[in-house]
Amino acid sequence: MKIIVFANQKGGTGKTTTVVNVGDALSRMGKKVLIADLDPQGHAAVSLNLDTEPCVANWLMYPIFNANPITPEIMNQWIRPTRRENLYLLPGNQMTAKTQRLLTIEEKPINYIKDQLSAIRRLGFDYLLFDTPPSTGGLQEMASWAADLAVIVSSLDYLSADGVSGFVDMLKVLQTEKQWHGKLAGVLPTFYDEQTRTTREQMANLQTAFPDQVFTPIHRATLLREASAEGLTIFEKDLKSRSAFEYGDLARRLSKLE
């Protein structure tokens, strides 16, 4: 099972839209995909037209209150089919924020999430995609440490650049101090509009800072907003759209990374 974390320490970068559409793209390639939404806003469920309960908090809090290990049968009680072949979801909701506070109080180590993955692995998933909250430490840090690959989702504005820098610094700490064995897959620019100077400048800055690690950008598109509002992926909204091509290409590139 390949584990990919999608992150930025700033919100509003199109991260959830990216996770949902990459997940659907991989599932259309015949891969069994689980999205775990660690963001208390629970937007992954909204984007897939699903309820937010049961949620990822059930999974993360279970070991604190139960001596017995999580079995695949227990795990299946919390994982939600999305009514899309091969695509499943562990939703986030407000309980996720309480879970993060509890894990902090309990002083759970950096490997806590990784240690809870055995039941998920036994369910035969090819991919686990983490959607993470725009914050430092906590669940974002634990999910990153559990991941094989990290994708930084960055809208092309000045504030998002700070979030990119902060997340990269965190990955460096995980590598040097916590023996993280994953790697940065790359930076995904979003809300790309080649007509604006800010977009062009920020794109150039990313390419300078991350040579050979900047994915093809995702263009700003009304279709993406409409699809999320309607509880659809971009492939369901318009399979032949530029956005569908861009997210399909991203999924194919990620599938080739080790």
CATH code of the domain in which 8 resides: 3.40.50.300
Confidence of residue 149 (pLDDT cuts 50, 70, 90): very high
Q: Does pLDDT of 101 surpass 80?
A: yes
Which residue range is the domain that position 15 belongs to?
Answer: 2-255
d(CA 170, CA 195): 33
pLDDT of residue 162: 78
Average of pLDDT values for 225-241?
A: 97
Contacts of 175 (CB under 8 A, 6+ apart): none
Edge-to-edge order in the sheet of strand 33-37 = 80-84, 87-90, 33-37, 127-131, 2-7, 149-155, 183-190
Q: Give this prediction's pTM.
A: 0.96
Q: Are strands 87-90 and 33-37 parallel, antiparallel or unpaired?
A: parallel
**Structural domain tally of the chain?**
1
Report the pLDDT value the prediction gives residue 157, as an integer from 0 to 100: 84
Residue 91 near residue 44 (C-beta atoms within 8 A): yes
pLDDT in tens, 4-29: 999 998 888 999 999 999 999 999 99
pLDDT-derived band at 67 (thresholds 50, 70, 90) equals confident
Residue 161 has pLDDT above 90, yes or no: no
State residue 188's pLDDT score: 98
Mean pLDDT confidence for 80-98: 94
